[in-house]
Structure 1
Amino acid sequence: MAALAAVQDYRVLARKRLTRIASDYLEGGAEDLRTLARNRRAYDALLFKPRVLTEVATVDAGVRVLDQTLAMPAVVGPTGLNGLYYPRAEEALATAAHRAGLPFVLSTASTSLLEDVRRASDGELWLQLYVQRDRGIAQRMMARARGAGYTVLMLTVDTPVHGVRDHDIRNGFKMPLRITPRLMADVMTHPRWCMRMLRQGGSPQLVNLARSTGMTVNLAAQAAAMSRQMDMSLNWADIDWLRAHWPGRLLVKGILSVDDALQARAVGVDGIVLSNHGGRQLESAPSPLELLPAVTQAVGSALTVMMDGGIRRGSDIVKARALGAQAVLLGRAPLYGLAARGPRGVTEVLQILRSECETTLRLLGCPRAAELTPAVFQPGWEERLRAI
């Protein structure tokens, strides 16, 4: 079976194959979805200024980020509860990322053990961390990750509470899934999804959280630990606490202002990820792309700056890199591939994004992604980006 044409095609197929409750969890955003839509509008505001009759017989989409070589300016980012889309989801994502020459970031809310993900892949693995009120949980998870050879810690700071997600309320989405007539009707019309869930023993489990808390396999307790026990006292002074338990590279994910970017630099983290959590947390938040130029100008080269949100094309990756992001985090796009075609679908999506990235570089007349600058945009790009 041949690969599909574009990430959007995998999205359409994934929506057909997933139950409504799983599809809405993957696709949904906060409140009225304005932030979710804004993420995409930001890319549409940027118009390229291609240069012709330049040597583009060979192109190099590769970049260096945090002393690691990436095949393109992208990382397969952290996403939670991926077992809703396919069994052993994180192993499949990590394996595909390694084959594509990209790091994979494992979420605290993963449905595969970090040790199992390491056994499945020889590639670069990073750990995304939520900090609960019982900080011993985070300490144990960091220790496990260090022991398994994870190299980068990504602290997520924009989720002291869950954002208001109307779709989850309407669907009665809670973990474990409650059996209702509506859910039963949803499942019965998606037998493929039902068989996938049976293959993994029913509802996916937050197994990493369970192991680091000493919980039994009890998803209700695991979900409670994630949703009601986040450490709301966490502040910039706690970066020192993290450094005491994590000797490797440290990134802060969830920055949405120049002030916080400068604060991150001041406390000595290695990098930041501009992110509005895929439009899932604070409604009416800015898109990371529109903040990117001001942030990169403010922090200079002393800080690695990455971003996420709304990447669906290789040209989106090129735009983000040209505005100063060293790399982007891919969230939903690989999951569309996973839900549509399993592990093969993830590989195909990453191949499509790299091919589109290389094609965009050729058509721009800029054969090296490492050399991208705002000069690839039409004059007035700043005003158009501010106007979204």
Structure 2
Amino acid sequence: MSARQHSIGGLNSVRHILQRANARPFRGGSKIAPSGDKTTKQSRRIFTAEDARMLARRRLPRLVFDFVDGAAGREIAAAKNISAFDEIELQPRVMQDVSSRNLRTTFLGSEYDCPVGIAPMGMCDLIWHGADRMLARASNRFNAPLCLSSAASCLIEDMLSWTEGRAWFQLYVGQSMDHTLDMVERAKTAGYETLVLTVDVPQVSRRVRDLRNGFEMPFRIGPRQFLDFAAHPKWSLTTLVNGAPSAKNFPTDRGNSGFDRGASRAGADWAFLNRLRDLWPGRLVIKGVTSVADAKRIQSCGADAIYVSNHGGRQLDSAPAAIKLLPAIRTALGPDYPLIFDSGIRSGEDVVKALAFGADFVMLGRPLLFAIGAEGERGLNSLFSIFTEEISLTLAQLGLTRPGEISRDVLINPPASLTEKSTQLHITKSIKRA
């Protein structure tokens, strides 16, 4: 029996057990959240990113939750990403007129309602069917950029249409150079203006939770997975009705094997960067940079921006917290060079801290998937609203009215690498851009 036949057979077995157990049937076809205005209402259970995480943990199969929540090795790097933000203190200021605040931010030639976007995340429909569409609608509702992963559950062309042109495309170099270059061409033809090359995954790391849970793509249903799915009937029935998610931009016809999660992605080397810079006419962003030396070389290669990230702690467990490396990169590259940041962001205050440490823009990842896993589109919209509200409230406490006014002065103990000259010039340029 083929792996695909084995997977389908296992899913059908889960369907049979659930039907026999008289599990409440899934209503609403492919939608998980009520349609219409109800999706814009605030959740009564999600007030923080951790609320979303805990609700998702109860609602999703363990295999699925751990795929999102897990990280490399003992998950020390992932924990440090979050705890490092707890160590950063902000200095409140008083008696400033902050009655009128505006979060609008201009970045890479586009104006957004807030200095926050949606990070590239593969296989989002694994969390719940239609997750990619939900994220696209959030991109439109909050006027935020969405970076589509190469391993997305939707087609490259569809996401640009769904987001009304707000999408960026994230590229992995792996499996086949011909397929990699084909995706670049597809993104160019579709009309993408920003390409994000991820360079920090030469090989997918050893993620222990996935190994313990037997996580594989496509799904292979053994006794452990069978019981896990049967214990979460709503997710299982939704998946059965709509089909198991797959990486849509990796074909499985004409002898193609589809997405190979474990394939080497080491083709993203310096020679490829130079080649890509020549091929791509739009803005080129390099993601997964934490080294000052690498950042300076990337800048000299003509990249338009650098995305500082340690992949959420999912690659190297001994990596430092990404936020601690951001100030040195800002200083090395100068005040004007565009920097994006993710890894460890769990609140609007964290966003402000990242901006104070030298970022121009911040991307959200895991928390948004947890919000979808917790309450679907209602949860996603609620959590995104919470982030924007927290950013605005934090500015008020700091005596500021716009993100462009954030500087090292809001920090109680600015890192030594964050020189006053570099950040003051950085802030001056930010104010001009806004």
**TM superposition score normalised by structure 1:** 0.93
Give per-residue Cα distances to partners, 1:344-380, cap 9 Å, x unaligned: 22221111100111011111111111110010011x3
1:222 aligns with 2:255: no
1:59 aligns with 2:92: no
Contact 1:318 1:357 in 2 (8 A): yes
Give per-residue Cα distances to partners, 1:244-288, cap 9 Å, x unaligned: 321110000011111111111111100111111111001110122
Among 375, 382, 387, the alignment partner of 1:353 is 387
> Which residues in structure 2 correspond to 1:233-272 (within 5 Å)?
233-272=267-306
Question: Which residue identity does 2:383 align to in structure 1?
Answer: V
Contact 1:47 1:381 in 2 (8 A): no
Residue aligning to 2:138: 96
CA deviation after TM superposition for structure 1 residue 122, in Å? 1.1
Contact 2:287 2:308 in 1 (8 A): yes
Contact 1:85 1:338 in 2 (8 A): yes
CA–CA distance in structure 2, aligned partners of residues 233 and 176 of structure 1: 24
Residue aligning to 2:248: 207
Among 402, 415, 419, the alignment partner of 1:382 is 415
Contact 1:130 1:155 in 2 (8 A): yes
CA deviation after TM superposition for structure 1 residue 148, in Å? 2.1
Question: Which residue identity does 1:209 align to in structure 2?
Answer: F
CA deviation after TM superposition for structure 1 residue 150, in Å? 1.7
Contact 2:290 2:326 in 1 (8 A): no
Question: Which residue identity does 1:207 align to in structure 2?
Answer: K
Question: Which residue identity does 1:283 align to in structure 2?
Answer: D
> Which residues in structure 2 correspond to 1:111-126 (within 5 Å)?
111-126=153-168
CA–CA distance in structure 2, aligned partners of residues 217 and 47 of structure 1: 56
Contact 1:106 1:127 in 2 (8 A): yes
CA deviation after TM superposition for structure 1 residue 318, in Å? 0.5
Give per-residue Cα distances to partners, 1:148-199, cap 9 Å, x unaligned: 2222100000111011111111111111111111111111110111022123
CA deviation after TM superposition for structure 1 residue 118, in Å? 2.7
CA–CA distance in structure 2, aligned partners of residues 199 and 140 of structure 1: 32
Contact 1:207 1:217 in 2 (8 A): no
For the residue of structure 2 that corresponds to 1:94, the secondary structure is: helix
Distance 1:130-1:24 versus aligned 2 partners, 3 A rule:
same
Residue aligning to 2:365: 331
Residue aligning to 2:400: 366
Identical counterparts, % of pairs: 37
CA–CA distance in structure 2, aligned partners of residues 80 and 128 of structure 1: 10
Distance 1:29-1:229 versus aligned 2 partners, 3 A rule:
closer
> Which residues in structure 2 correspond to 1:289-328 (within 5 Å)?
289-328=323-362
For the residue of structure 1 that corresponds to 2:370, the secondary structure is: helix
1:82 aligns with 2:140: no
CA–CA distance in structure 2, aligned partners of residues 369 and 156 of structure 1: 27
CA deviation after TM superposition for structure 1 residue 302, in Å? 4.5
CA–CA distance in structure 2, aligned partners of residues 233 and 222 of structure 1: 18
For the residue of structure 1 that corresponds to 2:394, the secondary structure is: helix
For the residue of structure 2 that corresponds to 1:253, the secondary structure is: strand
For the residue of structure 2 that corresponds to 1:38, the secondary structure is: helix
CA–CA distance in structure 1, aligned partners of residues 136 and 280 of structure 2: 22
Contact 2:56 2:374 in 1 (8 A): yes
For the residue of structure 2 that corresponds to 1:342, the secondary structure is: helix
CA deviation after TM superposition for structure 1 residue 108, in Å? 0.4
Contact 2:345 2:351 in 1 (8 A): yes
Residue aligning to 2:113: 71
Question: Which residue identity does 1:318 align to in structure 2?
Answer: V
Unaligned 5+ runs, structure 1: none
CA–CA distance in structure 1, aligned partners of residues 70 and 262 of structure 2: 17
Question: Which residue identity does 2:253 align to in structure 1?
Answer: T
Q: Which moved more, 1:359-368 or 1:137-146?
A: 137-146
Question: Which residue identity does 1:204 align to in structure 2?
Answer: P
CA deviation after TM superposition for structure 1 residue 106, in Å? 0.3
CA deviation after TM superposition for structure 1 residue 31, in Å? 0.4
Aligned residue pair count:
376
For the residue of structure 2 that corresponds to 1:362, the secondary structure is: helix
Q: Which moved more, 1:138-147 or 1:50-59?
A: 138-147
Q: Larger radius of gyration, structure 1 or 2?
A: 2
Residue aligning to 1:109: 151
Contact 2:277 2:303 in 1 (8 A): no
Contact 1:296 1:324 in 2 (8 A): yes
